[in-house]
Amino acid sequence: MKKLLTALSLLSLSACAHLSSSPSSIKLFDSQTTDLKNWHQVGPGKFVIEHQLLKSEGGMGLLYYKKQKFGNVKIHVVYKVTYADTNSGIFVRIAHTPKSAWDAVHHGYEIQICDKGKDAFDDYHITGAVYTFAKANQLSTRAIGQWNDLDVVLNHEKITVFVNHVKASEYKTGDWSPKRGRYSDPKRGPRPEYGFLGIQNHDHDGSHKDSHVYFKEITVTPLS
């Protein structure tokens, strides 16, 4: 009996150790966030906390999480837009500390948020696409004003995007992608596996002066 109890104790300790070593999620923003001290804005416009939500304002800029870089992780974002052509994006694997929004464009990957409009003229430019690198297979966003779940899985050289739990796109370093078509398209070439994460404000290009993106949650979970 004593040997059995000892064995059970060891199993219990092993299970606890396993649980304690499980990946821990990091809340970069949620309803409890009261300031943006861990974030930094570059470029025009800004983000403000309004009614416990993160709201985009102004022209094309970037709010990036300055506290650390992220590698192989799952990024969970809950957002909503005010118009179908409201423009935004989630930037991942930004190679170095961005000095402008264009640093993120050309030295990271953007997961697009824009259902339609002049910047969503094909499947490489709509919500769920790895902007100009990998097209979105389908548009799975909910009605305007409703919350959407956007999940981005960064697994070494592969990026997989889900919109409302439907797989939207996938890109792996070296996969074929269209040639750069416009000066604003990202420069080609690999990105590092560890980089900064940011969100884009892009309101001035829309047809509505009061277009905004609202973020309710941004959570990062390391892959086990």
Q: What is the pLDDT of residues 77-101, one digit of tens each?
A: 999 999 999 999 999 999 999 999 9
* Contact of 159 with 151, CB cutoff 8 Å: no
Contact 191, 93 (CB under 8 A): yes
State how many domains the chain has.
1
Residue 104, pLDDT above cutoff 50: yes
- The values of phi and psi at residue 19, to 5°, are -65, -40
What residues does 26 pair with on adjacent strands? Answer: 220
Is residue 134, in this structure, part of any structural domain at all? yes
Q: Does the residue 18 lie in any domain?
A: no
More confident residue, 205 or 50: 50
User: Is 21's pLDDT higher than 50?
Assistant: no
Instruction: Note whether residue 4 is domain-resident.
Output: no
Answer whether residue 19 shows pLDDT above 60: no
Structural domain contains residue 2? no
- The answer to whether the beta carbons of residues 40 and 66 sit under 8 Å apart is yes
pTM: 0.88
Domain range enclosing 114: 24-222
Report the half-sphere exposure of 18 (CA within 13 A, side-chain side). Answer: 6
Domain of residue 173, CATH code: 2.60.120.560
